[in-house]
Amino acid sequence: MTVILVPAHVPAFRTLESTPARALTFATDLRAVTVGVKDVQGWAEGIAAPAWQGDTAAAHDHAATRFARRLDNAEAALDRAVTAADRFEARLTILSSLRLRLEEERRAVNGDATTLRADVTASGSAATEAEIAVLQRRGERLMTRATTVIAEIEEWVRRYDDTEADFIAALAGVDTLVEGRLAAEDPGRVDVGPLVERFDSLRGDPERLNAWWLSLTRAQRAALSTEIPHRVGNANGIPARDRDEANRAALTSDLDYWAQRDGDSQLSGEERSAAENAAHIQEQIDEYRAELDPLTGRELLHLLVYAPGSHSGDGAVAIAFGDPDKADHVSVNVPGLTSETSSTDGNLDKTHDLHRAALDEDNGSVSSIYWLDYDAPSGNPIKPWEIPDLGGVALTVKADAGGERFADFIDGLRGSDEGDRAHLTAIGHSYGSTAVGHGLQDGAEVDDAILIGSPGQPESTAASLTDADVWVGSKDHDPVSLLGSGDRGGVGALGHDPAADDFGGVRFETGDGSLRIEDLLGNHTSYFEDESLDNMAHVVADNDHLVTEQPHRGEDGGGHLTLSELLAASTGASVLDGVGTAGEWLWEHSVLGGIL
Amino acid sequence: MAVTLDVPFEVLRTAKIKWDEAADELDGNWRRLHKSSIAGFSAEVTAAVEAFREPWVDEIKVAGERAQAHSDEIVLFGQRVWLADADQAERVRALLPWAHSDAGIAGQP
């Protein structure tokens, strides 16, 4: 009798009862609580009796000292729980990815078994010896695959049970006040003071900071992230994942604190402004929470910079879609004049659009970052030299300062990059392109630079600006792009027109945009659309050969209006009644839009 | 005769503010911990999280209430602190930085 072994179907196996996303949310909550408790405990400790001073009875009578000591127990317990939750989430993330692979293989084996069974039945008694041999070999291979996947599933279940058991045990170890006190007195407790000192000494050197950070234990990193969350979250060189965790903890803690202050009507003007900025950021996190990074299984959004009270109250924020440390291609786009944290949503949507477009290039993984951590001035984009309290020189100074911060941020990305060196693209829009230009002057290590709607660059040629490939998107009916000095003049307050032929960049196709007054602003703010977006995605994903070009200004086919000609022509082309001049119209409509 | 505490007024004012801020911060903390969702966890993990949360929510809540009470203890009128008697003066002194722990208390109400 001929025997052909066909494996039985591999049964379905357990799902993840505890999910990584849930664990991450819980860990963020715990971290935020720990940040607040540490903040208060640190202050109380600062006014408490030093351990080496005063008799015990006197110190005991000192209420602030008693308060600090008791709160320290809570802090120690929370530190342990944060470390456990962090580890729990990391292990669940790995198990989640592994489960997807196992489930795929299980289904494949079952499908192949069904097919083989049907083939055996179909072959019947008329099958030749050769055909039977083929079926037997298929059956043997399938048995091996089934046995393997069953063993891997059993191992997965064991690891999952261990993961839950370890987390449960860690929490159980600090779920009483007595255990909190013991944790506080544990000689093995992380001494965060020296770690903070070392951390501060390495800030400004992303590579060394990254190497040192990676040498720390999980408990040490967790303790630092809750002790100084703002500093850890905003430090260039700290891994993106850890920056995200620290910044989310700081954000959550801040929002809780300000909510209480607001409830007591005690918020200062500065606090209210910062609280509003923080709320805007939280809204963005919530909006994109459901999107997961296929590369890591974690949330797609990473909060890389969080400083809601900085830059004269405008706040600072940087948000990445995808983990830049792990991605093959990373882009960082910098917005322009009037950008502030409260206008993040529109700019973030553009970054997200670019992220999707670059992923669709199918040339590797992508992380797309929106970066607003410089003091972007506010003012009339058509007459930037007339901005109240600011002259053209001040505008240049702010772009220069922004460029320096941008270059530092890029250094940080290089410092925390994992694996093969990422292909990195800087994108500057409008005044942000001028800031990026200054960053390139400062030596920002990018492979490509995209300058869109640029009012000017600090160098007259791409080659003198950077070693990177320079790409330029300039619609001829975008008035801001006509501000730079170029082949037909230009104000030049912010530098040279990168679309000019003698600049030497590659001018990619964007179209010219509508000539009507009411569309000029749209021309300036629509580079993240249509062929312009496609071309930027080609550059970001390193598909340079797919970029379509249009003639430079000043070369054959590159004829264009000057700014004054454009404003006059567009006034005539308007379908609006009662419009005075294009400049007035633009100014009235640009304030809310963040035109530069 | 009024009770006096030999401490600069600014120290007292700052202490009151800081205790009040501490109360606000801890108030937000225990609420955050209390409402941290346990959806999406297995039953065993949920039980462990709840067991961990309970004592620390209570502890942080108590600490916040104590901080608020400390702030309320320091009663300021204009540029002066109100002290009912020597006992209250000692209680207020115990809420100040340790450097002022031996500040003199003088007089009786």
Nearest-CA distance from A276 to chain B in Å? 17
Q: Which of A103-107, B13-17, B53-57, B105-109 has the lowest mean pLDDT?
A: B105-109
Q: How confident is the model at residue A126 (pLDDT cuts 50, 70, 90)?
A: confident
Nearest to A176 among B48, B55, B70 (CB): B55
Nearest to B52 among A18, A46, A174 (CB): A174
**CB–CB of A44 and B22 under 8 A?**
yes
| Structural element, H or E, at residue A162 | helix A129-172
Q: Are A332 and A427 in contact (CB under 8 A)?
A: yes
pLDDT reported for residue A409: 98
**CB–CB of A71 and B96 under 8 A?**
no
pLDDT reported for residue A579: 44
Q: What is the mean pLDDT of chain A?
A: 89
What residues have CB less than 8 Å from B105, skipping those under 6 apart? B3, B4, B5, B6, B86, B89, B90, B93
Residue type, A484: G
Looking at the structure of chain B, the number of domains it has is 2
d(CA A99, CA A109): 15
| Structural element, H or E, at residue A258 | helix A240-263
B17 part of contact set with chain A, CB < 8 Å = no
- Closest chain A residue by Cα to residue B69: A63
d(CA A450, CA A462): 11
Q: Are A96 and A16 in contact (CB under 8 A)?
A: yes
Q: Are A196 and A222 in contact (CB under 8 A)?
A: no
A581 has a pLDDT exceeding 70: no
Q: Which two tokens stand for residue A233?
A: 């979250």
Nearest-CA distance from A406 to chain B in Å? 33
State the average pLDDT over residues A133-137: 92
On whether residue B59 sits in a domain, the answer given is: yes
**CB–CB of B60 and A175 under 8 A?**
no
Q: Are A528 and A537 in contact (CB under 8 A)?
A: no
pLDDT reported for residue A584: 56
If DSSP codes are grouped into helix, strand and coil, which group holds residue A297?
Answer: coil
Substitution target from A25, A87, A257 for chain B, most B beta carbons within 10 A = A257
Cβ-Cβ contacts under 8 Å, A85 against chain B? none
State the average pLDDT over residues A216-244: 96
A379 has a pLDDT exceeding 60: no
Give the model confidence (pLDDT) of A416-434 as tens digits.
999 999 999 999 999 999 9
Q: How confident is the model at residue A577 (pLDDT cuts 50, 70, 90)?
A: very low
Q: Are residues B12 and B40 in the same domain?
A: no
Strands lying side by side in the sheet with A506-507: A301-307, A316-321, A366-372, A329-334, A423-429, A448-452, A469-473, A506-507
pLDDT reported for residue A595: 42
Residue with token string 């082949």: A487
**CB–CB of A18 and B59 under 8 A?**
no
B109 has a pLDDT exceeding 90: no
B34 part of contact set with chain A, CB < 8 Å = no
A251 part of contact set with chain B, CB < 8 Å = no
Listed residue (A235, A159, A184, A152) closest to A408, CA to CA: A235
State the average pLDDT over residues A80-88: 95
pLDDT reported for residue A168: 97
- Closest chain B residue by Cα to residue A84: B49
3-class DSSP string for chain B: CCCEECCCHHHHHHHHHHHHHHHHHHHHHHHHHHHCCCCCCCHHHHHHHHHHHHHHHHHHHHHHHHHHHHHHHCEEECCEEECCCHHHHHHHHCCCCHHHCCCCEECCC
Nearest to A175 among B45, B51, B94 (CB): B51
* Helix extents (H) in A361-482: 392-416, 431-441, 462-465
Q: How many CB pairs under 8 A join A and B?
A: 148
What is the β-pairing status of strands A366-372 and A448-452?
unpaired
A203 part of contact set with chain B, CB < 8 Å = no
Q: Are residues B51 and B32 in the same domain?
A: yes
Nearest-CA distance from A365 to chain B in Å? 29
A468 part of contact set with chain B, CB < 8 Å = no
A63 part of contact set with chain B, CB < 8 Å = yes
pLDDT reported for residue A590: 46
pLDDT reported for residue B24: 94
Other CB atoms within 10 Å distance of the CB of residue A215? 8
Nearest-CA distance from B46 to chain A in Å? 9
Q: Which two tokens stand for residue A458?
A: 């600090």
pLDDT reported for residue A85: 94
Cβ-Cβ contacts under 8 Å, B55 against chain A? 175-177, 180
Share above pLDDT 90 across residues of chain B, in percent, rounded to a whole number = 60
Q: Are A249 and A241 in contact (CB under 8 A)?
A: no
pLDDT reported for residue A593: 35
User: A557: burial class by Cβ within 10 Å (0-12, 13-18, 19+)?
Assistant: exposed
If DSSP codes are grouped into helix, strand and coil, which group holds residue A489?
Answer: strand
Q: Are residues B67 and B81 in the same domain?
A: no
Q: Among the ranges A127-136, A306-315, A511-520, B64-73, which has the highest mean pLDDT value?
A: B64-73
Q: Are residues B40 and B61 in the same domain?
A: yes
Torsion of CA A248, A249, A250, A251, to 10 degrees: 50
Substitution target from B14, B17, B30, B45 for chain A, most A beta carbons within 10 A = B45
**CB–CB of B98 and A67 under 8 A?**
no
Q: What is the CATH number of domain A268-590?
A: 3.40.50.1820
List the domain range (segments joined by +) for residue B57. 28-71
Cβ-Cβ contacts under 8 Å, A261 against chain B? 21, 24
pLDDT reported for residue A58: 73
Give the model confidence (pLDDT) of A169-223 as tens digits.
999 999 999 999 999 999 999 999 999 999 999 999 999 999 999 999 999 999 9
Where do the domains of chain A lie? 20-185, 268-590
- Closest chain A residue by Cα to residue B71: A64
Half-sphere exposure of A25 (CA within 13 A, CB side): 16
d(CA A84, CA A75): 14
Q: How confident is the model at residue A62 (pLDDT cuts 50, 70, 90)?
A: confident
Cβ-Cβ contacts under 8 Å, B98 against chain A? 47-50, 53-54, 59, 62, 64-65
Nearest-CA distance from A290 to chain B in Å? 14
Q: Are A538 and A352 in contact (CB under 8 A)?
A: no
User: A470: burial class by Cβ within 10 Å (0-12, 13-18, 19+)?
Assistant: buried
pLDDT reported for residue A583: 53
Nearest to A33 among B21, B33, B66 (CB): B33
On whether residue B44 sits in a domain, the answer given is: yes
Q: Which two tokens stand for residue B101?
A: 């722990």
Listed residue (A276, A194, A281, A191) closest to A233, CA to CA: A281
Taking phi over 0 as left and psi of -120 to 50 as alpha, with beta for the rest, A311 belongs to left
